């Protein structure tokens, strides 16, 4: 099956086992990229060090998150958890609070578990072989390659979103990257400089982040322009091809801020699943035919086994996750009767408004806290 063509005249096809670039072209691509990186590479805090733990922190944070967002989190994290041992011995709630606002909280939970595994099995020393690294929770092939190349200069390939885009344009990939992953991995592996895996991978990510951007790529300053098949065909803005996606499902949620005198009831979600281990204001999905008020009253009875009186509207919060979006309809509520039970959650607490910042909350709930404070 044909996946893509190097160019229309030669009809050379890129398929499993065939790299669509001769060795002299690969050598030229390596050299031009490394020269460009020496002059134009970004100065980032984790590039100034060789500590595999610090690089591991940066790689986990950079999954699904932009560099400008990560930098202040990275700096604070390294002050709070300067070693693998300090992270492994920390309470998960403390870890989640430090991660608060970065999103994709499974990363933090897996990172915590992985640090404990390294402390237990490797005496706190980050492993240097790929097979062992890949056994750590939350570490896939790209993250492993990123850590081992940056920390130990190992020539291991990576394939994050930036790299997929660069390679897809370089060879004018005629299918979405998700349908040519084995070929793109093969290409990343063929291109990496065997003597300088560290700088090559960092350069490749920088090229995608600063030059070969999703929209309006800066082709005129790209070191790979002359070899870029998408540029030579004039289709760089059309590639990589994207998958056809269905609209994101939209969930209407009723949320209760339950008051008992001067305290508010919050609950901690179960450890696994979306937002696992975080605290939230209780509530749930609005069923067909229900009003927001009816939903809140029913959900609180089902989840906490208490009676409440639903009061005035506090705030409406819209938030988008990877696979769905939600609208949180938040109401002040008054506790009426019953002993709260953690039926659908890990634990519950009555806290004051001033105590709320002590707990790790999902990003959407932070807006609720801000509304309560104001």
Cα 171–Cα 174–Cα 176 angle in degrees, nearest 5: 105
Please state, in angstroms and as integers, the Cα–Cα distance from residue 310 to each residue in 2, 213, 305, 330, following that order: 61, 48, 15, 10
Residues forming beta bridges with residue 350, ordered by sequence position: 265
Residue 59 catalytic?
A: yes
| Other CB atoms within 10 Å distance of the CB of residue 181 | 11
Compute the distance between CA of residue 127 and CA of residue 139 in angstroms, rounded to an integer.
13
> 114: which residues sit within 8 A by CB, 6+ positions away?
136, 137, 138, 139
Compute the distance between CA of residue 32 and CA of residue 150 in angstroms, rounded to an integer.
20
| Other CB atoms within 10 Å distance of the CB of residue 166 | 26
- Point out the catalytic residue in the list 28, 48, 59, 229: 59
> 258: which residues sit within 8 A by CB, 6+ positions away?
264, 265, 281, 282, 300, 306, 308, 333, 334, 335
Compute the distance between CA of residue 165 and CA of residue 228 in angstroms, rounded to an integer.
12
Compute the distance between CA of residue 209 and CA of residue 307 in angstroms, rounded to an integer.
52
Q: Are 269 and 276 in contact (CB under 8 A)?
A: yes
| Other CB atoms within 10 Å distance of the CB of residue 188 | 24
Q: Is 150 left (phi over 0), alpha (psi -120 to 50) or beta?
A: alpha
Residue 41 Cα to chain centre, angstroms? 23
Beta pairing, strands 325-337 & 307-320? antiparallel
Per residue in 123-152, is it b (16+ CB within 10 Å) or e — as a string?
Answer: eeebbeeeeebeebebbebbbbbbbbbbbb
List residues with catalytic annotation. 59
């Amino acid at each position: 099956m044909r996946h893509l063509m190097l160019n229309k005249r030669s009809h050379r096809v890129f398929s499993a086992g065939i790299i669509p670039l001769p060795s002299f072209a690969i050598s030229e691509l390596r050299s031009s990229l490394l020269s460009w990186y020496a002059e134009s590479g970004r100065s980032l805090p984790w590039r100034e060090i060789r500590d595999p733990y610090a690089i591991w922190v940066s790689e986990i944070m950079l999954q699904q998150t932009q560099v400008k967002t990560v930098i202040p989190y990275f700096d604070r994290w390294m002050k709070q958890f300067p070693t693998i041992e300090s992270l492994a011995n920390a309470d998960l709630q403390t870890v989640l609070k430090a991660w608060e606002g970065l999103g994709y909280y499974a990363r933090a939970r897996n990172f915590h578990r992985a640090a404990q595994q390294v402390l237990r099995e490797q005496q706190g020393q980050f492993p240097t072989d790929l097979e062992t690294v890949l056994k750590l929770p939350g570490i896939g092939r790209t993250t492993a390659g990123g850590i081992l190349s940056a920390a130990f200069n190992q020539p291991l390939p990576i394939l994050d979103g930036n790299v997929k885009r660069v390679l897809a344009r370089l060879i004018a990939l005629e299918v979405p990257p998700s349908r040519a992953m084995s070929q793109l991995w093969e290409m990343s592996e063929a291109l990496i400089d065997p003597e300088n895996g560290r700088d090559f991978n960092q350069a490749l990510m920088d090229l995608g982040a600063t030059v070969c951007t999703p929209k309006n790529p800066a082709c005129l300053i790209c070191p790979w322009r002359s070899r870029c098949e998408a540029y030579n065909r004039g289709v760089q803005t059309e590639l990589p091809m994207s998958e056809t996606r269905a609209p994101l499902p939209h969930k209407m949620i009723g949320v209760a801020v339950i008051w008992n005198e001067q305290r508010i009831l919050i609950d901690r979600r179960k450890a696994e699943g979306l937002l696992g281990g975080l605290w939230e204001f209780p509530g749930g999905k609005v069923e067909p035919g229900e009003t927001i008020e009816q939903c809140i009253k029913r959900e609180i009875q089902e989840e906490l086994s208490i009676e409440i009186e639903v009061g005035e509207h506090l705030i409406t919060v819209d938030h988008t996750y990877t696979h769905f979006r939600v609208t949180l309809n938040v109401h002040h509520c008054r506790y009426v009767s019953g002993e709260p039970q953690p039926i659908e959650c890990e634990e519950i607490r009555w806290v004051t408004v001033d105590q709320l910042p002590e707990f790790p909350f999902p990003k959407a709930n932070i807006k609720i806290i801000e509304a309560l404070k104001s």
